[in-house]
Structure 1
Amino acid sequence: MLSEGWAKVYITVEGDSGDIERCCEKKDSHMEDLSLQYVNLEESENLERHRTEGFSSSKALVVRRGAPFRVSLQLEDRTFHPKTDFLRIKVMLGSLYVIIPVTSSKKVSSSSWNAYIDPEGLNLQSPSIFICSPASASVGCYRFQLCVFTQESQKAYAIGKFILLCNPWCREDAVYVPFEDQREEYVQNDSGLLFMGTPMNLVSRPWSFDQYEPGVLEACLNLLQVSPWHQKNTRLDYLNRNNPVYISRVVSAMINSEDDLGVLKGNWSDDFKQGVHPSMWTGSGDILKQWAQSGYSPVKYGQCWVFAAVMCTVMRVLGIPCRVVTNFNSAHDTNANLVIEEYYTETGQKLNVSKDSIWNFHVWVECYMTRRDLGPGMDGWQVLDPTPQERSGGEFCCGPAPVKAIKDRRIDLLYDIPFVYAEVNADVLSVIVSKGRVISYSKDTEKVGSLILTKAIGFPIHQSITGDYKHIKSPTSSLTSRRSTMSGDSTLSRAGSSNGVSVSLTLDRAQVAGEPVCFTVKVINRQNVAKKMKVHFNAQAKEYNHGPSDAFWETHGVIKLAPMEAKVVHQQILPAEYAHVLGDNLINLAVVVEDMDSQERVLASEEFNIASPHLTVQVADSIVPNKVQTASVSFTNPFSHPVSGVLTVAGAGLIQGKVNFRVLSLCPGGRMEQHITFVPSMVGTKMLQASLSLTNISSTIRGFKMVSVHGA
């Protein structure tokens, strides 16, 4: 029986005898043969040295480029004679290979493969060899051999495999990040938050990236193997995998299934019967493993945040720093004129007649890398968007587009900068039409890209990065200025005006399910004549990426304004009136005021979400691995009717798979509490997340708790 950590090796001859002849040189002496008995890949030491401990379940050793890893040899028959015995390492990636002489010098070059015998504590019966790849080596699964030649013989031994990843800890690597807290967050962190909803009413959705779950690493490597680039020209693909720009474009295209055997099938309809509703996914692991196990059939279904979160997993697995980013009020400018037209009826109902669109939020990723292809100044965060919207180079992919280039409108550079620039900078033209004729219009230059967020480093909260994408007029953050707009301190960005009258629409507070939607409309007569005004209120449900459906609530009235008078009108939509449009829907709320004498009309509108209540997750303070722990999940029903559903609890590194509990009818105001036991398997900060899918409402209630698992 082999001792732990050791693998038996076999003499191999690959192809013809020329392989060994290239590895070894014949000698004419008659010394005793040198044979290799075992090789120890020193897994625990190498995983710790390369910060790949999370991949310990892999069948191959996982290391990072630009840093040495150690293998130990166990010789039989005799010891190693440095003056007469020679070793070489043959490293193979597909049909590519390199032969590395094993030297006695620790001086290595970051631009080439190196191997040396450990000169410190040299044990001639079991010497150690350090192998170091260049910082620009290709990512992939390598095979390697040890070639042994003496004055008497030559032999080649198959050692096994190792997986080589990018190395953000290596200064010479194109993905190098200089700060440890950023490397921990953007490479090693296996959980995070995805931001949705609206700027005033943010929704923080927990997500498990699952990069250390069994099978995920292999699925990510298979993604590169089944890509059209690899299938078309295997050799060229392997060579290009040294470049994170190339890798990121391949992954961006492979996350969606529009052109290839990609991971996810997008679906923005109302029919998800053939798969899983995008809002039901809680992590990347289930998606990637299902894709791999199905023989690379696309997983159904994804929408933007699912595409982005899965891409974040793949990039972190490959060693490329990555974070998920949300752009609120994201424009899709189909005619590239940087103007998005939105059309309304004369009573404020929004129409679905424009090819352009604004998504209330759109989610993509940023990856950190140098851009040697673009010259100085474009290094750093790069936008990549795997959601299939437009083709780039013939494929449904987007990026990498330097964030710095987007801010400075460098549309002459690669890749897809004009498209992303429009997503964060387009103007919105709101047009009122009647009988096919434009009767009023107004332009909003602040709505699109009003807030751009990512998760803060080390904390489960958001961080605004709006200023990285665009030149902000105010020194305050977008979130602060947006909230002051919504609270009534400034209503310019959500107001309409004409020569005779102006109108502003303000939500009184962030909206929560079970409470009335309260809002205020302020109408100002800007002339020295009295006015009689019709006021039309209209609310329509909409999905984040679609135009709205028919109005579910409307009311009309008449107000009289004295010369230069301002009047404030308070309105509310009761929970019973919006209950049937809850779930992931948003609401488009509009008001049109009409001068009854001149027929002049002015529009103000706002889109908002109604936040779901939260589950409360509680865990003991002291958590250690491999010991039974207890958590509790509680929920109080805020709705005016009973609810029931299924509670699901999951947590990478905490719980194997998912645990489901049925929640029976819970009366209004009723409280449930469910206790869960789990056994942590990994040290570090982990996310325990819970979701309650309600059966009688199209809604999912979520909650999470960050858990610190300390070493024993």
Structure 2
Amino acid sequence: MEDLKIKDVNLEISENLERHRTDGFSSSEALVVRRGAPIRVSLQLEGRAFNPTTDLLKVQIMLGVHLYVLMPVTFSKTISYTRWKAYVDRDNLDSQNPSIFISSPASASVGCYTFKMFGITRGTNKKSYAFGKFTLLCNPWCPADVVYIASEDKREEYIQNDSGLLFIGTTMNPVSRPWSFDQFEPGVLEACLKLLQVSPPHQANKKMDYLNRKNPVYISRVVSAMINSEDDCGVLKGKWEGDFKQGVNPSLWTGSGDILTKWAESGFKPVMYGQCWVFAAVMCTVMRVLGIPSRVVTNFNSAHDTNDNLVIEEFYSITGQKLNRSKDSIWNFHVWVECWMTRRDLGFGLDGWQVLDPTPQERSGGVFCCGPAPVKAVKDRRIDLIYDIPFVYAAVNADVHSVILSEGKVVNYSKDTERVGSLICTKAVTFPRLQNITGDYKYIRSPTSTISSRSSRMSEDSTLSRGSSKGVLVVMSLDKTPVAGETVSFTVKVINKQRAAKLMKIHFNAQAKEYNHSPSDTFWETQGVVKLAPMEVKLIRQQILPVQYEDVVGDDLINLAVVLEDLASQEQVLASEEFNIASTQLIIQISNKETIVCDKEQAATVTFTNPFSHMVSGVLTVAGAGLIQGKVQSRILPLLPGGSLKQRITFIPSKVGIKMLQASLALSNVNSTIRGFKMVSVSGA
């Protein structure tokens, strides 16, 4: 009898990509599949046909250079979620080109596999074989996988969506920032897999690393450490002060693809530079590529408690200037990642969203990473559990102690238990808007509490802050949301709580500040004297003009404070708050938006109106995963105050679905970047 000879293996890539919901990776020209689901491959035989009676087929699976499994090909189509299996469908057998189904367990390790398909002729034991390769990812569609998430809408959002919104700014005025996750762009899959290969755990013990990659808890810690470059050849170098001339200003990144591919192409040299939202967005991309549902989360007024006492101290002078006197800090916003997984290592009730923070702040297990910390454990203050729950708990729950100093002595002290973690949010599923998830992390004390009012974007309570002493209560509030190019108007309400007249000295102070630093020098201040009759309530209105803040603030925030001093008793009272100034938006209009199809040129117009009191110029960048290959950039000539420009751009969509076209204008003579986005529905050609 002629020996069975296998000439080649057809990986049936297009069919398998569609079956495994990995067709977004079609540009990689590789077979990308998900664990816990069968892969169909077809044998190309040379010579005679396959005879089920006289021939045997075996499959050898390798992960790296390590033998993973050697198994016979059977005729049983029963799928096992706990072990590897290979079978032939006898009812639909093509003897000349038989189809083999290879099924991995739902707990198989993530990585790049090779397999060898053996054909053996009974009696002679002569073997013929051919090779194949596939990349195996986690499978949130498989109920037996620990990353399974039941909702199809959530799988589309947290795995398949290649664009999203990051939220920055302040609680009172969250700003949505478009971001391209780019997980299906050329080179991104390969970069994410390389990230696992060059990680210190893999380099130290390749076999153990491969075995551990079945567990998303392990994978997420490796990725969290590898996004920053503090301990390894990680993706991003962080920088929060000084100039960015040796790299890219973090505010200018528009997506993850450029960062990941630049890192891989450079031989794994850290890309310069990143800050928290960049670290988080790139990690979200990597986790979505690896098949683990992920989203980017913003914690407004995020505490960094360096001495683990759950208290953040802030110091002010008697004229309302905020002082840099504490190692503790409150970031106006901090951005991290949540990943969805079952936590079998922690027992019952802690499955679901897990906090992971790739921004290098504190070491965990000796390296700069954070998590996965179950959100449910943070809410219940389960600080006895791994990983890093105390750090996350403090970030959303620390108390704030505000202190007024005069000649080094404390003259006033107040406590705020509700400011930290006042709004925690993420992008809503399906829709381009904010979803408030504060209640997932914290117990909301009552419907009328400050947490509730600050955590709702729809709240009409514009109160900034309150300060109180034995004799006086002071309340400061913005008259409306500050907008670039407009006057900042605010009102101070002073309430005399005693039945005696008072003479008060009042100091106002405004300082520009970056979201994660103490404020810089005062750029606006004024003072005066206030006379209060017994039990009187007095309103004091103030304004900061655009010419006073435009050249100082830009994309920064404003720390605004008022200090009142009773001239008779020298008693001091403080009210303060930090806020951002909303910038104008770029307007994007799509031509013929009802007929946008793949592989056909489309046109869009980007419109910008100068809101500033002086001329501006800059560079306009337009990008969009699945819409534009790379970026389109153009220089904007000086534009007079109030002037408008319209910039026409063209693009050719390459992928079907809802895509994001985003534009950003980096101004050259103002520390500000203006952004806008438009969701685009692309249909098949």
Is TM more than 0.5 here?
yes
> Structure 2: which 5+ runs fail to align?
none
Does residue 656 (structure 1) correspond to residue 629 (structure 2)? The answer is yes
Does residue 292 (structure 1) correspond to residue 264 (structure 2)? The answer is yes
Partner residue in 1 for 2:479 = 508
Large movers: runs of 4+ above 6 Å: 476-480, 483-488
Partner residue in 1 for 2:19 = 49
Counterparts of 1:2-17 in structure 2, within 5 Å, are none
Q: 1:515-552: per-residue Cα shift (whole Å, max 9, x none)?
A: 01110100010001000000100000000000001100
Does residue 702 (structure 1) correspond to residue 675 (structure 2)? The answer is yes
Decide whether aligned partners of structure 1 residues 332 and 682 sit closer, same or farther in structure 2, where only a CA change above 3 A counts.
same
- Equivalent in 478, 481, 490 of residue 519 of structure 1: 490
The alpha carbon displacement at 1:368 in A equals 0.1
Counterparts of 1:363-442 in structure 2, within 5 Å, are 363-442=335-414
Does residue 146 (structure 1) correspond to residue 117 (structure 2)? The answer is yes
Q: 1:407-430: per-residue Cα shift (whole Å, max 9, x none)?
A: 000001110000000000000000
The alpha carbon displacement at 1:486 in A equals 11
- Equivalent in 101, 105, 111 of residue 82 of structure 2: 111
Native 8 Å contact 1:486 1:507 kept in 2: no
Decide whether aligned partners of structure 1 residues 292 and 272 sit closer, same or farther in structure 2, where only a CA change above 3 A counts.
same
What is the alpha-carbon distance in structure 2 between the residues aligned to residue 509 and residue 159 of structure 1? 67
Partner residue in 1 for 2:30 = 60
- Equivalent in 570, 573, 579 of residue 599 of structure 1: 570
The alpha carbon displacement at 1:489 in A equals 4.4
Native 8 Å contact 1:428 1:447 kept in 2: yes
Q: 1:561-620: per-residue Cα shift (whole Å, max 9, x none)?
A: 000001000001000000112322111000000000000000000100111111001112
Native 8 Å contact 1:487 1:508 kept in 2: no
Partner residue in 1 for 2:160 = 188
Q: 1:32-71: per-residue Cα shift (whole Å, max 9, x none)?
A: 1111123211111100000000111224200000000100
- Equivalent in 304, 307, 315 of residue 332 of structure 1: 304
Partner residue in 2 for 1:69 = 39
Counterparts of 1:279-678 in structure 2, within 5 Å, are 279-475=251-447, 481-482=453-454, 489=461, 491=463, 494-619=465-590, 620-678=593-651
Partner residue in 1 for 2:660 = 687
Decide whether aligned partners of structure 1 residues 489 and 274 sit closer, same or farther in structure 2, where only a CA change above 3 A counts.
closer
Native 8 Å contact 1:141 1:163 kept in 2: yes
**Greater alpha carbon shift after TM alignment, 173-182 vs 576-585:** 576-585
Native 8 Å contact 1:487 1:506 kept in 2: no
Decide whether aligned partners of structure 1 residues 39 and 294 sit closer, same or farther in structure 2, where only a CA change above 3 A counts.
same
Native 8 Å contact 2:444 2:452 kept in 1: no
What is the alpha-carbon distance in structure 1 between the residues aligned to residue 7 and residue 234 of structure 2? 43
The alpha carbon displacement at 1:100 in A equals 1.6
Partner residue in 1 for 2:8 = 38
Partner residue in 1 for 2:50 = 80
The alpha carbon displacement at 1:236 in A equals 0.3
Decide whether aligned partners of structure 1 residues 183 and 476 sit closer, same or farther in structure 2, where only a CA change above 3 A counts.
farther
- Aligned partner of residue 92 in structure 2, secondary structure: coil
Partner residue in 1 for 2:214 = 242
- Aligned partner of residue 587 in structure 1, secondary structure: strand
- Aligned partner of residue 218 in structure 2, secondary structure: helix
Native 8 Å contact 2:6 2:130 kept in 1: no
Decide whether aligned partners of structure 1 residues 344 and 478 sit closer, same or farther in structure 2, where only a CA change above 3 A counts.
closer
What is the alpha-carbon distance in structure 1 between the residues aligned to residue 619 and residue 500 of structure 2? 61
> Structure 1: which 5+ runs fail to align?
1-30
The alpha carbon displacement at 1:490 in A equals 7.5
What is the alpha-carbon distance in structure 2 between the residues aligned to residue 265 and residue 337 of structure 1? 30
Q: 1:595-653: per-residue Cα shift (whole Å, max 9, x none)?
A: 00000000000100111111001112321101111111011111111111111111111
- Equivalent in 169, 182, 202 of residue 210 of structure 1: 182
Partner residue in 1 for 2:173 = 201
- Aligned partner of residue 681 in structure 1, secondary structure: coil
Does residue 129 (structure 1) correspond to residue 100 (structure 2)? The answer is yes
What is the alpha-carbon distance in structure 2 between the residues aligned to residue 483 and residue 565 of structure 1? 32
Native 8 Å contact 1:145 1:159 kept in 2: yes
- Aligned partner of residue 257 in structure 2, secondary structure: helix
Native 8 Å contact 1:331 1:340 kept in 2: yes
- Aligned partner of residue 261 in structure 1, secondary structure: coil
The alpha carbon displacement at 1:487 in A equals 7.9
**Greater alpha carbon shift after TM alignment, 692-701 vs 569-578:** 692-701
* Identity percentage of aligned residues: 73
- Aligned partner of residue 164 in structure 1, secondary structure: strand
What is the alpha-carbon distance in structure 2 between the residues aligned to residue 84 and residue 479 of structure 1? 74
Counterparts of 1:256-295 in structure 2, within 5 Å, are 256-295=228-267
- Aligned partner of residue 16 in structure 2, secondary structure: helix
Native 8 Å contact 1:33 1:153 kept in 2: no
The alpha carbon displacement at 1:79 in A equals 1.1
- Aligned partner of residue 673 in structure 1, secondary structure: strand
Decide whether aligned partners of structure 1 residues 483 and 147 sit closer, same or farther in structure 2, where only a CA change above 3 A counts.
closer
What is the alpha-carbon distance in structure 2 between the residues aligned to residue 123 and residue 309 of structure 1? 47
Decide whether aligned partners of structure 1 residues 479 and 156 sit closer, same or farther in structure 2, where only a CA change above 3 A counts.
farther
**Aligned AA (2:24):** G
- Aligned partner of residue 254 in structure 2, secondary structure: coil
**Aligned AA (2:401):** L
What is the alpha-carbon distance in structure 2 between the residues aligned to residue 229 and residue 366 of structure 1? 22
Native 8 Å contact 1:542 1:548 kept in 2: yes
**Greater alpha carbon shift after TM alignment, 106-115 vs 117-126:** 117-126
Q: 1:45-104: per-residue Cα shift (whole Å, max 9, x none)?
A: 100000000111224200000000100112121111111100011110022321121000
Decide whether aligned partners of structure 1 residues 488 and 145 sit closer, same or farther in structure 2, where only a CA change above 3 A counts.
closer
Partner residue in 2 for 1:10 = none
Q: How many residues align?
A: 681
What is the alpha-carbon distance in structure 1 between the residues aligned to residue 402 and residue 607 of structure 2? 44
Decide whether aligned partners of structure 1 residues 485 and 346 sit closer, same or farther in structure 2, where only a CA change above 3 A counts.
farther
What is the alpha-carbon distance in structure 1 between the residues aligned to residue 189 and residue 166 of structure 2? 22
TM-score by length of 2: 0.98
Decide whether aligned partners of structure 1 residues 60 and 76 sit closer, same or farther in structure 2, where only a CA change above 3 A counts.
same
- Aligned partner of residue 106 in structure 2, secondary structure: coil
What is the alpha-carbon distance in structure 2 between the residues aligned to residue 294 and residue 123 of structure 1? 47
